[in-house]
Amino acid sequence: MPGPAAGTAHAATTTDVVCLGESMVTFLPSQPGRLADVPSFGRGIGGAESNVACALAAAGHRAAWVGRVGADGFGDHLVETIAGYGVDTSAVRRDPGRPTGIYFRTATDRGAGAHEVAYYRAGSAASAMSPSNVPYGEVFAGRILHLSGITAALSGDCLALLRELTAERPGRPLVSFDVNHRPHLWRGGDASVLLELARRSDLVFVGEDEAEEAWGIEGAEAIRAALPEPSVLVVKRGSAGATVFSGLRPGPRSSNAGGAESGPALRSTEGGGAESAPASRSTEGGGVGNAPDTVTHVPALHVDVVAAVGAGDAFAAGFLSATLRGLPVRDRVRHGHLMAAAVLTVPGDLTEPPARDHADRLAALDDGAWGRLRLGPGWTAADRAPEEVRTS
């Protein structure tokens, strides 16, 4: 089976983050209501990994998206739109025999009972990604490789590809993995493979709700016990915020983490205020050793939500952006919350992020001001000093 060569493409890397996965054309309703009743739709793009790439590029990082689209108009639209955000799309492959995936959704919150999504992605070009047809030189060319569990659900070949990319080897970049459990994609499948992939990664994002649904694991501490291997585990807890478990893993999985922050830097909590404490890590099932964790909890923001879509991808982008900049763990989480708030206050999956100095000022607020901060539509353009920020 073809695979990446050891030490591939790190010495002269010019890319901060490479994101690999499926992107689709999404059709957004012109008004609320059932899909059966919506008279027209606007066209956009959607895809967890391409969303992260677009957000990172918009925030000033060098981001690339690797995927596979059809040789059709929808594929043209995806590649042109993603490139328009400043993302390098040169490694995207076109498949003349398979279509680009599309989907339609209603305007309601994804968690609401009335929410509808109609996917037309079976047999898509992206589902044909495999260990034999991805450009490994480009995939491993960044400081960070960002993947998600959605790709693993698309096909057996896609799952084999993620296993290949998360395998330990010299020259592997830091692997970031967002579990992104989507129940409808795993009907008849075994979502436990997401746990396997997460354990092979360096930085993992997972929601408490999806860990319970996919694996039957409840609570942040129990999730860490099931995932002792990643150096950094980010457990998203909805309105309660996020908890980060960070600890130095003895024995790197790669000889080169691509220049991204690793080891003790990932454990830093300086910068004040967030709840943090050392904790012992279980070695059962992982063989990782008794390296202590630093546990950091950062409360969520108060946000006037317009549409609850794309927030998880934006959070990952904000956290990765701050990681690339070497910021303390608390500030990495706060930048994740701020990037998510930018998307939550617009109708679609993507938006212009706040200016870096604006986000830095908000992330530096003391705990009291952070807790009172309330963000609504248009806040990213309201570049004001911290004392002028609207609080409740």
Q: Active-site positions?
A: 313
Residue 69 φ/ψ, nearest 5 degrees: -130, 165
Q: How many CB atoms lie within 10 A of CB 392?
A: 7
Q: How many CB atoms lie within 10 A of CB 171?
A: 18
Instruction: Specify the DSSP element, H or E, that contains 201.
Output: none
- The beta strands (E) that lie in 6-84 are given as 15-20, 24-29, 41-46, 63-66, 68-70
Burial of 212 (C-beta count, 10 Å sphere; 0-12/13-18/19+): middle
- The beta strands (E) that lie in the chain are given as 15-20, 24-29, 41-46, 63-66, 68-70, 93-95, 102-105, 117-120, 142-148, 174-178, 203-207, 232-236, 242-246, 275-279, 293-298, 302-303, 374-375
Q: How far apart are CA 251 and CA 71, in angstroms?
A: 44
In the 8-state DSSP scheme, what is residue 129?
-
